[in-house]
Structure 1
Amino acid sequence: MANNLPLKLATLAFFLACEVVLMGGFTRITDSGLGCPDWPGCFGSMVMTTDTETITHLQERYPEIHVAVHKGWIEMIHRYIAGGLGLLILALAFVGYREKEKTANYPYLLSLVVLGLVIVQGAFGAFTVTLKLLPNIVTLHLMGGLIIVSTLMYLRHRLKRLALGDSSLVRMRTPVMIGVGLLFAQIILGGWVSTNYAGWACPGILSCAPGGAEVNYDFQSGFHLFPEVGPNYEGGQLEHGARAAIQMVHRAGALVVTVYWLGLLWSLVKQGVLASRKAMHFVGLLAAQIGFGYANVVYAVPDSLAFIHHALGVLMLLYAWSIAYATAVEYEEVSYGSVKHA
């Protein structure tokens, strides 16, 4: 591929998408999701007001939320970055349309998929606000962000290979893809913990009550995927038993992910398809994530530790994808009786 513009756009879009996901987590963790209760503006304007009298008037008009300048700005900055990402992906699709006739196996349809995902993601961004942080919508919004980041990473991988003159396709190894799927599900489960304010529900490592007191875990309420529309979900609406159930399932998921990935990395290194240094990098990220998860339990989920935990989860997902690409194999297809690279 002679034109490197698609690769440059995809690289920029990928990093910007990562920033959107991280900023979205920061918005959620700082309780800024309703910093602007309307969409796409903020109290009818595209910038958050700093006028004291106006803030007082808005607080009287919106008594169900805490009107704060810093929360409004956090939410709007998140929207500004997301808007910039949308424009960048639109440009990527346009450039791809012009490039697809010139370059064999150019992933134009993938560019359109990303554009469609961004449009849907924007709609969920609006629903997140207008439905007052409804947990299933907030979680789906996080899922959409991670899917966009993952798809852009794959698109960038394809374009990078084309830039190097390699138009062949690759197949990811099934065990690695299972590992990526488990990690993805665990991050989504973490989002469910966060949006239901269940992070503080279990102050002990093995128990959800101090002194070993009995807890009535309510899994049915904790994982009711269609909560009532209407209430303000900032601060959460679930009882302690439901939040504790969510938290314990998240911890069980962490154990499953840890065991699976340690076994997977050992197997890949033993087979000689993955460098031991790359495997150890992932193990380091995994250890750090477990450590910060423990710290969040001990210190009752302060914003700083919660954000680091969120950021490490995203970084682990990206590194898991990089392992998937590093261990991928080219596959061949049969055409007209001869075998050739796809």
Structure 2
Amino acid sequence: MQEAAKYKGVNMIKKYKNLVLICCFFSICVVGLGAYTRLSDAGLGCPDWPGCYGFLTVPHHEIHSEVLSENFPGMVLETAKAWKEMIHRYFAGALGVLILVIAIGALLLNKRNIVPTRLPWFLVVLVIFQAALGMLTVTMQLQPLIVMGHLLGGFAIFSLTGLLYLRLCSKPIPGGDEGARPQYFATILALIVLLVQIALGGWLAANYAASHCADFPLCGPESMQHFSLWEVFQLPMSQSNYEYGVLSYEARMSIHLLHRFWAAITTIIILWALYRIWIHSYSSKIKQCVLTVLCALIAQLTLGVVLVLLQFPISVALAHNLMAAALLLSVIRLSYYIKVHS
């Protein structure tokens, strides 16, 4: 009887882990679809929320033309853009349902004290907040602060679902790693600097500033003369529509330049942290995590350079977004192993 109960418990945990893994997959899909929607200028493909022109799916222009002209006067239905936006919403909705199921499952399994409960329910709260930001993104016509917040929320959900999976699946490092433990602060510093860089990338994307710096490594021979931190952090004036950006050319160029400058700082700090961890740790697990972060960092830098040299193709820009998420998760994974298993 006890063996049967033990087997049942192990099987339930295995299914729960698989569900969390599926949730991780959905979260990175939502990040990618959100980036693709933004990069293809489809963020206002549906001017209302959560439906599209009052329908649960993209309406057929010929069939619903009277309804569209009556309820959304002056709006032109672009079916391709609308479907990009709605597919993103469908995946985001499915992700929200999955996270709720995971949170409820954590409560049921917590009777055995074998799964964390606070993190899944924090994810539920985060999803609700993210849904509110998604609504505001549309209703406030792509206001840059809201767009940046929505992007960061997607990264946060992906990172935390990945962290939840790590907590469920990671095994203690045999004997620990006393050499790596003092380097925990270095990984936290690298994580903070990386988060700032991702936020700057979100600010750049929200203000449509990518194409305003099409040279490398700077934006042109006189770009530094027009660079201004004040221009970078100024809030766009109130507009009825922020699509395609409203800031001046100089402001957007400054935003892009700062993103590049901070990328250099981020690279130096991450490499410094990885070097310290590598020379002080003796666990193969920790060293494997270091190599993962290094590979993700090199890939992200390469994609950033290629993105500029090829004049910002959507495919490379999308890969740059996804690799930023992978780099973030790899740094979180390294920090987690040093904190918990050393």
TM over 0.5: yes
- Change in CA separation of 1:58 and 1:177 when aligned onto 2, cut-off 3 Å: same
Q: What is the Cα deviation at residue 58 of structure 1?
A: 4.9
Q: What is the Cα deviation at residue 320 of structure 1?
A: 1.6
Moved more, 298-307 or 70-79: 298-307
Query: For 1:165-314, what aligned pairs fall within 5 Å after superposition?
Result: 173-209=184-220, 211-212=221-222, 215-225=225-235, 227-273=236-282, 275=284, 276=287, 278-314=289-325
- Change in CA separation of 1:94 and 1:284 when aligned onto 2, cut-off 3 Å: closer
Query: For 1:79-118, what aligned pairs fall within 5 Å after superposition?
Result: 79-103=89-113, 106-118=115-127
* Unaligned residue ranges in structure 2 (runs of 5+): 1-8, 172-180
Q: What is the Cα deviation at residue 274 of structure 1?
A: 5.8
Query: For 1:45-64, what aligned pairs fall within 5 Å after superposition?
Result: 45-52=55-62, 54=64, 58=68, 61=72, 63=74
SS at match of 1:317: helix
Q: What is the Cα deviation at residue 115 of structure 1?
A: 0.6
Q: What's the RMSD between the two structures over aligned residues?
A: 2.6
Letter in 2 for 1:290: L
Letter in 2 for 1:144: G
SS at match of 1:257: helix
Q: What is the Cα deviation at residue 208 of structure 1?
A: 2.5
Q: What is the Cα deviation at residue 33 of structure 1?
A: 0.6
TM-score w.r.t. structure 2 length? 0.85
Q: What is the Cα deviation at residue 215 of structure 1?
A: 4.3
- Change in CA separation of 1:158 and 1:202 when aligned onto 2, cut-off 3 Å: same
Provide the identity percentage.
Answer: 33
Q: What is the Cα deviation at residue 330 of structure 1?
A: 4.4
Partner of 2:178: none
Cα contact 2:48–2:54 (8 A) shared by 1: yes
Q: Distance in 2 between matches of 1:92 and 1:137?
A: 28
Partner of 2:6: none
* Unaligned residue ranges in structure 1 (runs of 5+): 163-170, 332-342
* Structure holding more helix per residue: 2
Moved more, 89-98 or 119-128: 89-98
Q: Distance in 2 between matches of 1:244 and 1:101?
A: 55
- Change in CA separation of 1:302 and 1:161 when aligned onto 2, cut-off 3 Å: closer
Partner of 1:336: none
1:205-247 superposed Cα distances (whole Å, 9 cap, x missing partner): 24323x546742343233124x344421111000011111111
Moved more, 196-205 or 20-29: 196-205
